[in-house]
Structure 1
């Protein structure tokens, strides 16, 4: 981050970043030049930290606690959490506890887990076997869906983790809702540690790379089969149809991310639909200039007007791509009828287990060759692409912000997400003193720096 870091000394940990991370000074510093390394001054890490940990099912088992700072082994890293996003997926985890798929029988009562799948970190300690690959002071985002079998604590999983091919940060791997995070061997082996190379990128922007990357990943799974002529070979094209008609159903936080990300494919028309006009206001304020810049006609309409508008702009063909960013069986079923021939329907909004089976119009699949796809999370490449887009100002991440506060606000933040009391993303800064949630509309680097300085 350019300029003086907003973080002040906390406990016995001195963290000063002047002129970006290149001049970071902290514990066990490995500076970027030989002179800086020779002059580096070691400062001890604190012995304890604050962490949001889940001890069982229900909000009554979620606590922000003072716990020992983890000590990395020779093949691990220790990172300071600079900012953490509050993800709605935590609600499912809190409701299901040890029955959650990613926990696979992990006993929360015996082994509480550190929550938080969204965030950005700065390395503060490096295991000796990693000293040639990682430097203290470097900033990273972590892809939380780690495609690697568990290495540590296999005995805590059902059947000793037999058959597991994936673990997750914020589940059985320590998450971002804490002051420090242990970067384990699985994360490193799976390539899930992505560098933040833009020194001017705010902490919140890097922290929200993960949810935005989920939209990037989902859209890249669309497949269109094209022919340049009747006798030409068929060619598969990944992504939304360029020059086509794209519809995003749902203008909540993820729907907005989808709408903004869709513009990179330059659709001729982008239609965003929601039940609430107030949510569509965000689309009308945030995206028109970006849409014009890529030759896209933007439409933000309430649900009752959507079908007529689609019929008009597509000249009766339907939509080439539809992304359902709401968890509604009825909408997922009905949207099949709104597709053009060869169109793609993305069931992005996950349905509740037990209410997750929908009707499929097999005649449309057979005669009109429509396709249905979905995705859960993304890959490290999606995080890297999101960071690139944010650095290139192809995304205005600050517009997706809603509220900010300190780590001890996690309970209230999750309640607001559950009750739809907030209209955007909440980001918590773990190293701040007690700071109630406050509005963070159109959040900027300057806003972040001022906020953190005031509450450190």
Structure 2
């Protein structure tokens, strides 16, 4: 069948084009991709091209479909999988395939999110990385992948009991600091902190931009957190005389944090995170640096005498992904806080190539429409050409400026997408 999608050929070379998908094999599944969230990891891949560890060396001759944060509907099922999957079911997928480097959006010529249709090969299905769900939207499954990484981060942290027994997860009733936390992933981390069973007593979220801090408080307010039993404080560290002492004073006992997440790969921020750890504190370098020589000064005295720990986490498991989708369906977390822009398939190339320079959070694309990548706050600017966008903006306003299942349904209906 003839499909449209964005494919990678080389460094800085991605193209929106039409190409042919073959008939599926007996062990494959054809899907209709409805939404794909554009990830910074894709931008990094585009900058590296064939040098990227997941990209095939022959990508110039056999281009791969980009995009790994996608969801949609199952269209056709090969004989092998017909007892488990049915046409018409919504699908979600985990792009981190256990035991292999190959991944949707990085490695496959026929499987990726930036295309109207794609084919899931047997190895992905065999690994349990494709499943169905009954959620009321597509976008929540698209951003379940970044949310799953957030969940993995929380579960990766650990504390010590009786000297050498590791207790996995963040500390119940403790203090969490989310540094550089007003971006899409950081806000996902705040949302998750309010939903987990081992809730912290306090969550401190930092940034150096008052506008970003104000928006964060709009979408996840201190009042909302209080209702869920957590004291949430947003702080501009650029306005603190001494960020180390100032942040420590905000922790539960004033002596430092049990869990610190560093959400920007910036050396001074990482060093700040290390300095505000309390006894048995754990710091997670969540933000992935692009510089392979990225390093920072850390206090090894505290590591020895105060049992502080430093680790990093990336990706997530299938269970983490399913938890993200299930919690979103139960409205326990708000993945919509990650999304600030919405666009169509025609916006993917420019958005991906310029991603670091576009302010805001996650950029969500819908594969079966043409629409410029537009900030949710700017949707009314499109109404001069199409009055529908006033209606769409009204829907977002009713949802506190956030994207929603209602907004998605209205958009797809307007463009005649079934």
Shorter chain as normaliser: what TM range?
0.7 to 0.9
The answer to whether the 8 A contact 2:159-2:167 is kept is: yes
* Matched position secondary structure for 2:10: coil
Match of 1:189 among 122, 126, 139: 126
CA drift at 1:125: 0.8
Aligned to 2:405: 445
Match of 1:262 among 173, 193, 200: 193
Comparing 358-367 with 344-353, which one deviates more in the overlay? 358-367
Aligned residues: 382
* Matched position secondary structure for 1:405: strand
Mapping 1:308-319, distance limit 5 Å: 308-314=245-251, 315-319=253-257
Q: 1:120 to 1:178 in 2, by over 3 A?
A: same
The answer to whether the 8 A contact 2:207-2:235 is kept is: yes
Aligned to 1:307: 244
The answer to whether the 8 A contact 2:265-2:289 is kept is: yes
CA drift at 1:354: 3.6
Aligned to 1:109: 60
How far does the alpha carbon of each residue in 1:104-152 deviate from its partner, in whole angstroms, 9 at most, with x for none?
x52221110100010112111111111112111111111001114xxxx
* Matched position secondary structure for 2:337: helix
CA drift at 1:427: 1.1
Aligned to 1:78: 30
1:220 and 2:155 correspond: yes
CA drift at 1:235: 4.9
Aligned to 2:47: 95
Match of 1:280 among 185, 208, 213: 213
Q: 1:216 to 1:169 in 2, by over 3 A?
A: same
CA drift at 1:415: 4.2
Aligned to 1:35: none
Q: Measure the CA separation in 1 of the matches of 2:4 and 2:159.
A: 48
1:296 and 2:230 correspond: yes
* Matched position secondary structure for 1:145: coil
Aligned to 1:5: none
CA drift at 1:416: 4.7
Aligned to 2:381: none
Q: 1:311 to 1:325 in 2, by over 3 A?
A: same
* Matched position secondary structure for 1:168: coil
1:326 and 2:256 correspond: no
Stretches of structure 1 lacking an aligned partner (at least 5 in a row): 1-46, 149-164, 228-232
Aligned to 1:30: none
TM-score, normalization: structure 2? 0.87
Q: 1:293 to 1:236 in 2, by over 3 A?
A: farther
1:252 and 2:183 correspond: yes
How far does the alpha carbon of each residue in 1:320-367 deviate from its partner, in whole angstroms, 9 at most, with x for none?
100000011222133211100100000011112343233332211111
CA drift at 1:437: 2.1
Q: Measure the CA separation in 1 of the matches of 2:223 and 2:120.
A: 40
Q: Measure the CA separation in 1 of the matches of 2:95 and 2:223.
A: 33
TM-score, normalization: structure 1? 0.80
Aligned to 2:326: 388
Q: Measure the CA separation in 2 of the matches of 1:375 and 1:312.
A: 27
Mapping 1:148-167, distance limit 5 Å: 148=99, 165-167=100-102
Q: Measure the CA separation in 2 of the matches of 1:98 and 1:407.
A: 24
Q: Measure the CA separation in 1 of the matches of 2:101 and 2:4.
A: 27
1:377 and 2:312 correspond: no
How far does the alpha carbon of each residue in 1:185-206 deviate from its partner, in whole angstroms, 9 at most, with x for none?
12111111132233xx211112
Comparing 364-373 with 347-356, which one deviates more in the overlay? 347-356
How far does the alpha carbon of each residue in 1:376-408 deviate from its partner, in whole angstroms, 9 at most, with x for none?
211111110001110110112233221111111
Aligned to 1:202: 137
The answer to whether the 8 A contact 1:246-1:322 is kept is: yes
Q: Measure the CA separation in 2 of the matches of 1:234 and 1:269.
A: 26
Q: Considering only aligned residues, what root-mean-square deviation do their CA atoms show, in Å?
A: 1.7
Stretches of structure 2 lacking an aligned partner (at least 5 in a row): 377-400
Aligned to 2:273: 335
1:243 and 2:173 correspond: yes
Q: Measure the CA separation in 2 of the matches of 1:357 and 1:70.
A: 47
